[in-house]
Structure 1
Amino acid sequence: MQKQGRKSAMKNVGMKAESYRTAIATGILHAPPHCIELLRNGNTEKGDALKTARIAGILGAKRTDELIPLCHPLPIYRADVEYELFDAHVEIIAVVETIGPTGVEMEALTAVSLAGLTLYDMLKPHCEPEDLCLDQVKLQKKKGGKSHFTRVLKEAMPASVIVLSDTVAAGKKPDTAGHNVLEILQDANFTSIDYKVIPDSPEQLLALIEQQKNHYPLILTVGGTGLGPKDLTVETIQPLLKREIPGLMEASRSFGQKRTPYAALSRGVAGYIENSLVITLPGSRQGAKESLTAILPALVHLFDVQKNIPHAGGYQ
């Protein structure tokens, strides 16, 4: 019996942060020298082939998700097609840019392919079919996403996770949020992670922070950032911060609000307490995951550049 193939599915990019992305693709159309001259002069019997093919390539980039079944629709902020003409071939260069959760490699490759096929179509009345060949369509460069904004530390680094919850501390429910944070940190090459669960107690939190500051470059609290009467993590941590980094929580809330309007209610803060970067995450599993996912590339960059020394600001 023949096994059934795996079903096709579009990759879920809902938890990927948006970033600026660009891709450059090239291809070669081989053609006789007299056809190259027709391209140079813009006078094939169907008109100016280079201009028409450029429009076709741009249109192809914009409609890639309609042509390739499992490609995601993306806002295309730039799509351009250029050429280099040689004696017996033309090189096609496509550049595509977006800000989105996934890259535009396929859009650039589609632009090159559509432009090349359009040139083929407009030159075929002027030569034999075997004289034309679209060849070497390939990606030359891409920038953005995980290939550019890494989510894994170059060198392993310790961290601390402090979960604040009366019910979890009392054993009345499992800690899903804290364990989710642990998994994300481990995948990012944080090691020797200290994990503690305490009640919603400002006194116990203060004692732990006092004990751990300067020993862990990164301390994450989980819980107590909402508006409940016992949500006092922010009130406990904020007075201790010597250098706040408001952009981390701005990025976290912005990322979360695209997925749930409740993210606007999170009051999380981030900054340095002496040599430890302390970040307060929400207590829900999804809230903690979304918040850490949004800021992880910035954290990795921060620690890779300055290790456990407070970053002086700016980005590269």
Structure 2
Amino acid sequence: MSDIPLRIALLTVSDTRDPKSDLTAPAVKVCIQESFSNEQKVEFQYDIVRDEKSDIVEKLRNFSKTADVILTLGGTGFGSRDVTPEATLEVIERRCSGLEVALHTRSLEETPMAALSRAVAGIYGNTLIVNFPGSPKAVPTYWKVLKPILPHGVKLLRGNDVTEDHAKLQGK
């Protein structure tokens, strides 16, 4: 992808988790590290915030100053305290509806419960923000969708030349 490290922020959204009981962020980190172990250096940031819209919004804006990608973990369901999508929508400037459809479609192949997800994805400045479910079991499903498109997406957000990528995609 690049000599520049891929900067990924993991934001767990939960009223009940702390760093010791958070199983989702470590699961995401393992998926990412295994995916990019040889081809791309990855730098991580991590935090946990309560299911409070204002707290989530503040953290998304702060993380976006230094992260290429922010993955929120949790708060995407039907629960009255699940406000991660609303916070994300308040922050993002452009919605990534194709990515949302791809994530939801792949998840529905795994479980009908995926229909209860309200996860969104979008762009704020030069940062991609994607809502992941809070379940560690769902992480590989979401990651399978995101992993192949992430390098190209980050190049575009960074303003890098993608001519070579486009030529490869077109078989040239």
Relative to the length of structure 2, the TM-score reads 0.82
SS at 1:277's partner residue? strand
2:111 pairs with 1:264: no
2:34 pairs with 1:183: no
Q: Which residue number corresponds to residue 17 of structure 2?
A: 168
The RMSD of aligned alpha carbons is: 2.3
Structure with bigger helix share is 2
Residue from 81, 87, 100 that aligns with 1:230: 81
Distance 2:33 2:123 in 1: 22
Q: Which residue number corresponds to residue 49 of structure 2?
A: 198
Larger of the two Rg values belongs to structure = 1
2:158 pairs with 1:308: yes
Q: CA deviation at 1:202?
A: 1.6
Contact kept? 2:103, 2:145, Cα under 8 Å = yes
Distance 1:311 1:249 in 2: 25
Counterparts of 1:230-309 in structure 2 under 5 Å? Answer: 230-303=81-154, 305-306=155-156, 308-309=158-159
Q: CA deviation at 1:300?
A: 2.1
Identity %: 26
Distance 1:241 1:195 in 2: 20
When residues 201 and 250 of structure 1 are mapped into structure 2, their CA distance, relative to the original with a 3 A threshold, is: same
SS at 1:264's partner residue? helix
Distance 1:310 1:167 in 2: 40
When residues 276 and 307 of structure 1 are mapped into structure 2, their CA distance, relative to the original with a 3 A threshold, is: closer
Contact kept? 1:159, 1:190, Cα under 8 Å = no
Relative to the length of structure 1, the TM-score reads 0.47
Q: CA deviation at 1:301?
A: 2.4
Bigger relative contact order, structure 1 or 2, given CA contacts below 8 A and separation 6+?
A: 2
Contact kept? 2:60, 2:91, Cα under 8 Å = no
Deviation readout 1:51-81 (Å, 9 max, x if unpaired): xxxxxxxxxxxxxxxxxxxxxxxxxxxxxxx
Contact kept? 1:243, 1:273, Cα under 8 Å = yes
Distance 2:51 2:41 in 1: 26
Q: CA deviation at 1:287?
A: 1.8
Q: What stretches of structure 2 of length at least 5 have no aligned partner?
A: none
* Amino acid corresponding to residue 185 of structure 1 in structure 2: I
Distance 2:60 2:159 in 1: 18
Distance 1:167 1:311 in 2: 43
